[in-house]
Structure 1
Amino acid sequence: MEKPKDRDFVETVEGLLFCVVGYLHPPDRYTAYLKYVPSPDGRWSRKGTRYARVIPYYHVSQVENTYVLLRERYPQYLFHCPVRNITVSSVLRTSVETYYHPRRRLRSILAGGAGDPLEQRLIDLVTLLSDLSGVRRGDLGVTGSLLTGSHNPKFSDIDLTVYGQAASRRLKEALIEARREDGEVQPYGRERLEAWSRSRSRRFPLSFEELMGFAERRWNYGVYRGTYFSVHPVRTDGEITEGYGDRVYRQRGVVAGTAEITDSRESIYLPAIYQVDNVEAEAPGEVEQIVSYEGLFCDIFEDGDRVEFRGILEQVSGDRDYYRVVVGAAGSSTGYIKPAA
């Protein structure tokens, strides 16, 4: 049986659509955040049902806002996790009406043909990226509203998934090269990069100039025939090595400091994991990792980079004990990672 993965979707018996987060899931639940709810005023639709987005964008503060709705109307989807020692939204497996797999959905669209212009652009984009990178179509998927079939061809984006470290790296290299050329895959122009940076400056404790630096480093997005698209690396089953309960995580307060990145390979995924050394921070033990649940900080920094950080200090207990800094998780809405001055 395939393991649950980041950016899968689940639909509950009430018709709620949740997006799966990460790879740490209790045996009877899927860790996920609420993204779409049935609403007569919704802009998305499927099979006669209209849907509204519960959060305008992914950020820990927005996810925590959904807990208010869940607490009032669907408390069964809030769970105090004894492994992470925080309350998270999650879906009981017995409450799942449909589980949506990105690879299966893409395979179905490729085999059955496009049902609308957006699906046709998806087919053409996947074909182009596969040809450019050598990544098999079977290692690609589609998530977001296209996954659940609730997309609106007039405004919906294309959100792709790519599975495994090797395939992700090949696609990254091909996409960077394709954006350098004057072809169908285009990067953001200067005006759009500036707008992106201004909007993020209202969400993160980072300056406009710092965010422009992030914007120029990001590789996993582009514009294809006028449609925005993004690419999200996802672990394969063999790359999911931690079982639920193998380790226990306990928050120890807010921490800030600097560190040197020693291994950035697993930062390509979400959560992004950076191995670090030479850490300067107020911590009761050695900090070995900086972990980000915020996509802004995924695959941005390289080995040897010295970074400044702010996040939640977590004590990790398991086969061995250590500390890590978590950005973008519960209680860390003001967290960040940025190049050290």
Structure 2
Amino acid sequence: MNRVRIRDFIITKNDWFFAVADYFHPPGKFRSVLRYVPDREGERILGSKRYKKYDFDDAFEFMRDNKPEWVEDVHLVPEEEVKKILTPSEVINQLTISDHRIRYIVKTLKSAGIPTNSMGVTGSMLLGLNNPASDIDFVVYGNHWFKAREQIEKEKSESSVITDIDDEMWEFIYNKRKPELSYEEFLAHELRKGNRGLIENTYFDLLFVRDWNQIVEPISRGEDIGYMEIEAIVTNSDLAFDSPSIYKIEHSDIDHILSYTHTYSGQVMEGEIVQARGMVESVGDIKRLVVGTSREPKGEWIRSSTLMQKRN
């Protein structure tokens, strides 16, 4: 089986586009989520075909109607149904030539010593389904991501090409995410993450994807025990910007925090005090706190107590 990881895309034989949703997959299948389907009324165009974009909930409804045997917690695409696998790194050279915004981001990151083969572009630009209003989903692999984030923050302070998101955009993101944090708390955490910005008024994300040598073992499903609110010191945040985010902590009962919602990626750094509420899972001899047990988790959150104390 071909190796795939998050931010890759799968094209099936019937030209459905799936976003890969995991680093680990059962034999003969790929854990993914449907994103685009051919549709005569679709707003996206690729070649002679129109495509409809599916959000998370609508994608599951479509799959339950059309391929219910592929539906579990994600969509399991059989390997024999795969026509092609697209990876973010394979289009970076082409997009550097054809898109001046990508060219500028690549040039900026290369000036910090980040190799081009550790960069990529995912989402609609990877698929060729982007339009003038499309965001740029820029991928950086492994620990180069942290250097990339620092370089983008430096560029924001020194250049007018890459800029911070304005208040209106932050309010839009907040209302879309509907987090269990006040707007002030949400904004404080987001501003210090430094992985989002604007380039010529186009929104872009710096997305973390593990290097192959960081993909060690799958995250096993545990047994739900019940909700818990905890406070602990974060001892490792190397995968804080991954999907899911992982925070190792020092706590009498909980080994680590696992977050499946993008809102809480990169939320707390190593050495800081984290406050979190989520579902406790028992996995073998350890327990972990899972945040994001639903698409818009209610009563579940992560905040940096250290960050908020510094601001008060």
**Length-normalised TM-score, structure 2:** 0.89
Q: 91, 114, 117: which is aligned to 1:105?
A: 91
Tell me, which stretches of 5 or more residues in structure 2 are unaligned?
A: none
* SS at 1:266 equivalent: coil
CA contact (8 A) 2:260 2:293 kept: yes
CA distance in 2, matches of 1:136, 1:24: 26
How far 1:173 sits from its partner (Å)?
Answer: 1.2
The equivalent of 1:336 in structure 2 is: 301
The equivalent of 1:13 in structure 2 is: 13
Please give the per-residue CA displacement for 1:105-156, whole angstroms capped at 9, x wherever unaligned. Answer: 223444xx31xxxx3322232223222x21011110110001111111x211
* SS at 1:177 equivalent: helix
How far 1:310 sits from its partner (Å)?
Answer: 2.1
The equivalent of 1:326 in structure 2 is: 290
CA distance in 2, matches of 1:94, 1:233: 29
Q: Which amino acid aligns with 1:162?
A: V
How far 1:11 sits from its partner (Å)?
Answer: 1.4
* SS at 2:27 equivalent: coil
**Length-normalised TM-score, structure 1:** 0.82
CA distance in 2, matches of 1:199, 1:248: 28
CA contact (8 A) 2:155 2:162 kept: yes
CA distance in 1, matches of 2:152, 2:270: 21
Q: Which amino acid aligns with 2:214?
A: E
1:71 is the counterpart of 2:64: yes
CA contact (8 A) 1:141 1:161 kept: yes
Please give the per-residue CA displacement for 1:43-92, whole angstroms capped at 9, x wherever unaligned. Answer: 2210111122211xxxxxxx35532221111113213xxxxxxx332211
The equivalent of 1:259 in structure 2 is: 232
Give me the identity figure in percent: 28
Q: Which amino acid aligns with 2:44?
A: W
CA distance in 2, matches of 1:11, 1:252: 38
* SS at 1:170 equivalent: helix
CA contact (8 A) 1:312 1:327 kept: yes
Q: 1:248 to 1:189 in 2, by over 3 A?
A: closer
Question: How is 1:1-341 mapped onto 2 (pairs within 5 angstroms)?
Answer: 3-55=3-55, 63-79=56-72, 87-110=73-96, 113-114=97-98, 119-131=99-111, 133-152=112-131, 154-165=132-143, 167-200=144-177, 203-243=178-218, 247-278=220-251, 286-317=253-284, 321-330=285-294, 333-334=297-298, 335-340=300-305
Please give the per-residue CA displacement for 1:11-30, whole angstroms capped at 9, x wherever unaligned. Answer: 12222211111312112111
CA contact (8 A) 2:30 2:77 kept: yes
* SS at 2:251 equivalent: strand
CA distance in 2, matches of 1:189, 1:93: 43
CA contact (8 A) 2:12 2:82 kept: yes
- Count of residue pairs the alignment pairs up: 305
Q: Which amino acid aligns with 1:181?
A: E
